[in-house]
Amino acid sequence: MIARCQVDYAGRLTAHLPMATRLLLVKADGSVSVHSDDRAYKPLNWMSPPCWLIEDRDIWTVQNKAGEKLVISIEEVLHDSSHELGAEPGLQKDGVEAHLQELLAEHITTLGDGYSLVRREYPTAIGPVDILARDAEGSAVAVEIKRRGEIDGVEQLTRYLELLNRDPLLAPVQGVFAAQLIRPQARTLAEDRGIRCVTLDYDKLRGTESDEFRLF
């Protein structure tokens, strides 16, 4: 839906978006996000599933199990349509990125002594995180792998961490942003958010002797 609306969020903090024309996106998984025309894919505000939407005339109230609310007050609807997108075939990673994930999973101690692999492509409501691991203390670690580390990769990992940290069986979940090359701006943003950056040496990983089938 494209509509003139204002948005108020109440939860761990409060936030207000004044009246303006915005895109309101309601997905089949129950998520609701509010977009402007100048933020690329990143929403201004959103509510991730599990949550529910209550429509009362010109007021949408989106609430989750934690009691957080996103209240959207609609002044004028400019466009309203619904589309079935069908089955999602999934993201096809390029060969180097996919191989980096495979190699890092095989040699997970590249991230640090005592690290152990939980699973590759660990599922979340917004897509799989490349690797879920445990560090030497047993804490969960989510790893996002890129060939070139850009700001959008940090944003992607941030969203994964937000969802994973809602799972009491995993929280607290740390983040690792791993890439062959990490841009300075991406590194600065990651470190500001408490995400550790790791530069991967593809050739060294390929040359590391596998211990997957060793007894000793």
Angstrom distance (rounded) from CA 7 to CA 18: 7
In the predicted structure, residue 209 carries a pLDDT above the cut 70: no
Angstrom distance (rounded) from CA 185 to CA 188: 5
Does residue 191 sit in helix, strand or coil?
helix
pLDDT tens-place string over residues 89-110: 655 555 567 888 899 999 999 9
In the predicted structure, residue 86 carries a pLDDT above the cut 60: yes
**In this structure, are strands 32-35 and 45-47 parallel, antiparallel, or unpaired?**
antiparallel
Q: What number of residues does the chain have?
A: 216
Average pLDDT over the chain reads 89
Q: What local confidence, expressed as pLDDT, does residue 216 receive?
A: 41
Q: What local confidence, expressed as pLDDT, does residue 49 receive?
A: 87
Kindly write down the DSSP assignment for every residue of 55-82, as one continuous string: EETTEEEEEETT--EEEEEEEEEEE---
In the predicted structure, residue 3 carries a pLDDT above the cut 90: yes
* Confidence class for position 84, pLDDT limits 50, 70, 90: confident
pLDDT tens-place string over residues 4-21: 999 999 987 889 999 999
Domain 2-79 and domain 95-206, same fold? Reply is no
Round to the nearest angstrom and report the end-to-end CA distance of the chain.
60
What percentage of residues in the chain have a pLDDT greater than 90?
70
pLDDT, greater one: 66 or 134: 134
Class of domain 95-206: alpha beta
Instruction: Please report where in the chains the tokens 């069986």 appear, as a residue.
Output: 169
**In this structure, are strands 129-134 and 140-149 parallel, antiparallel, or unpaired?**
antiparallel
Q: What local confidence, expressed as pLDDT, does residue 210 receive?
A: 46
Kindly write down the DSSP assignment for every residue of 115-158, as one continuous string: -EEEEEEE--TT--EEEEEE-TT--EEEEEEEEEE-HHHHHHHH
> What's the CA dihedral at 191, 193, 196, 200 to 10 degrees?
-80
Angstrom distance (rounded) from CA 42 to CA 56: 27
Q: What local confidence, expressed as pLDDT, does residue 140 receive?
A: 97
Domains of the chain, residue spans: 2-79, 95-206
In the predicted structure, residue 157 carries a pLDDT above the cut 90: yes
What CATH topology corresponds to 2-79?
Protein Yojf; Chain: A; (2.70.180)
Q: What local confidence, expressed as pLDDT, does residue 92 receive?
A: 54
